[in-house]
Structure 1
Amino acid sequence: MASEPVSDRDLVNSLWAGDTAALATLYDRYSSMVYTLALKMLANPAEAEDLTQEVFVNFWQRRQYNPDRGSIGSYLATYTRSRAIDRLRVSRGRATILQRFQRITAASSRSANPVDHATQQEQRQHLRAALDQIPPAEREVLEIAYFQGLSQSEIAAQLGIPLGTVKSRCRQGLLRLRSLLEHQRS
């Protein structure tokens, strides 16, 4: 006679007690749902895989799930959706900064009259000044991402730091840079 499957609640209790095999079982049960949701929102298989791993690692490390407040499936879906939205915000911010940089670069490659040249020079100075005001660790990650074109995983490997550290430095750096550039405009 086959044994009854272990409940999610029992698996979570086992995980919190240090049984990492419980995480593997939870991953087997819910990773497909998490990945599918992440893929629908991010429209990028590599990002969806990365987010799926992040969701389960954070679930294990942060221990914020309370079985008395709802099912683990609902918790993971909500958490995945929230993290996917965060990633979309960051990528939109990154795209905005990259577009701004590309406009400045493209404009400087065209022959410009003296007024255009002065404006472009001023924009480059504003961007450089804003970059110089953010913390060096955040600036380094952003410069590698935008000027060398490396992915966050590649940056983590190059710098020898965890991927999560690269992600948080990127996010914080972009937020600071956006704020500084908006402040310079006003």
Structure 2
Amino acid sequence: MARFSTDTSDIELIHSLRAGHQEALAVLYDRYGGLVYTVALRLLKQPAEAEDLTQDIFFNFWKQNKYDPGRAVLSTYLGLVARSRALDRIAKRSTQQRSLQRLQGSIPERAMTPLENATLSEQQETVQQALSQLKDQQRQVLEMNFYQGISHADIARQLDMPLGTVKTRARQGLIELRRRLGGAVG
């Protein structure tokens, strides 16, 4: 396991990350996570959504090799990505709200049918079964976040662990849930 100090340059960390040293991502997250979160929060105005976007940006940074150090310093690159992705989310949210308003204006509310209730119950049971098969650490974070509505930052405080660890466990848990559920819930 490679050890990185606060003096390790961004370029060294990126090379280490590309060489398979995932712990380099934690150092980069500690270094720039606040910047990305601040940009996202300033635009999105919702802490949970800003946390989710921050996690998503770092996950994609880890999985994709799109950053070119010759074009911009890492802080600038991550700030621009955060701004762009936040604006995309705002546009998507706006489109969804307009669609929902149109639908609500034209479709009267109705009670769920017994078949819809049964289907919903089956889906909930399927999700619970898939959750029970996750690693305990991933399941705990997901349950706290989705069922109890606790933000990643509050989970980190409650479990006394780094925010990046909480977000990584949440992301890995969601990926595993999607894999296990496939098309079973939709």
Q: Same fold (TM over 0.5)?
A: yes
What's the counterpart of residue 38 of structure 2? 36
Give the alignment partner of residue 178 of structure 2, picking from 142, 158, 161. 161
What's the counterpart of residue 23 of structure 2? 21
Taking structure 1 as reference, are residues 78 and 4 closer, same or farther at Cα in structure 2, changes over 3 Å only?
closer
Q: What SS class does the counterpart of residue 84 from structure 2 fall into?
A: helix
Deviations 1:113-160 (A, max 9, x none): xxxxxxxxxxxxxxxxxxxxxxxxxxxxxxxxxxxxxxxx78x97xx4
* Paired amino acid for 2:88: D
State the structure with more CA Rg.
1
Q: With structure 2 as the length reference, what TM-score do the two structures score?
A: 0.56
Q: With structure 1 as the length reference, what TM-score do the two structures score?
A: 0.56
Instruction: Flag the structure with higher helix content.
Output: 1
Q: Are 1:69 and 2:86 an aligned pair?
A: no
Distance 2:63 2:43 in 1: 24
Q: How many residues align?
A: 114
Distance 1:90 1:6 in 2: 38
- C-alpha displacement at 1:105, in angstroms? 2.7
Structure 1 stretches lacking a partner, 5+ long: 110-152, 166-186
Distance 2:99 2:31 in 1: 39
Structure 2 stretches lacking a partner, 5+ long: 111-145, 148-172
* Paired amino acid for 1:76: L
- C-alpha displacement at 1:6, in angstroms? 0.5
- C-alpha displacement at 1:63, in angstroms? 1.1
- Per chain length, whose mean CA-contact separation is higher, i.e. which structure has more relative contact order (CA < 8 Å, sep 6+)? 2
Deviations 1:49-102 (A, max 9, x none): 000000000011011001111100000001111111111111011001000011
Q: What SS class does the counterpart of residue 58 from structure 2 fall into?
A: helix
What's the counterpart of residue 89 of structure 1? 91
What's the counterpart of residue 136 of structure 1? none
